[in-house]
Amino acid sequence: MELYFWLSLLVVRGIGPLLRKRLIDAFHSPQKVFEAKEDELLSVGGITPKTVKALKEIDPFKTGKEIYQKVKATGGDLLTLFDPRYPQNLRKIPDPPLVLFYSGTIEEEDSKAIAIVGSRKATPYGREFARNLASQLAQSGLTVISGLARGIDTEAHRGALEAEGRTFGILGSGLDRIYPPENSELAERITQKGAILSEFLPGTPPEKMEFPPKK
């Protein structure tokens, strides 16, 4: 199953987003990455003998299947970089996530989107402004994207939902680790009118170092 190779590539020690993208560009599929010979892998910039060893130690069928089962257990699903539903604007960045985990729905109309993010310690005025702005943008047909964090992010999601619009919540953790916890109900509402998305594997806790990439 091709998905197993995509998922297994996410857990190879020493291979981050940029190296994963280089490998996919060089071999055109994760399966071919795992099937490549050592000298072929070493021809890719940034790949070392230590990295090759880590790659060859993984059984992609066993590892990928285990990860896939965890994803389905969260009630979520996933998109790979080659999936036609993968967000086009995200695909254009230098190090797009090879796999996006999501819960909810991703529609063609979501290509017209706008992000609203801001302070977790927003003033009452700032919160109201964000909520009203998101509502107006959603009414105009834009999908409102934010980070489900306290403050401005929360109000942006609420404003879009109040306008019966679509909204995406981008997590800095796994789909099964909604943060902050008090936004769990909001996250569930978002999945009814959009989606919760994450580039992180199920079980990944919310760490400070994970939040910058999602923005």
Ordered by where they begin, the domains of the chain are: 2-73 (1.10.150), 104-214 (3.40.50.450)
Read off the pLDDT of residues 112-130 as tens digits, 9 standing for 90 and up.
999 999 999 999 999 999 9
For the chain, strand residue ranges (E) read 77-80, 99-104, 113-115, 143-146, 167-170, 194-198
3-class secondary structure, 172: coil
Residue-level pLDDT at 95? 84
Strand order across the 113-115 sheet: 77-80, 99-104, 194-198, 167-170, 143-146, 113-115
Specify the pLDDT at position 94. 83
The predicted pLDDT at position 91 comes to 87
> Which sign does the torsion angle of CA 185, 126, 105, 88 carry?
negative
pLDDT tens, 3-44? Answer: 999 999 999 999 998 999 999 999 999 999 999 999 999 999
For the chain, list residues with pLDDT below 50.
209-212, 214-215
List the Cα angle 133/194/120 in 5-degree steps: 50
Radius of gyration of the CA atoms of the chain, in A: 19
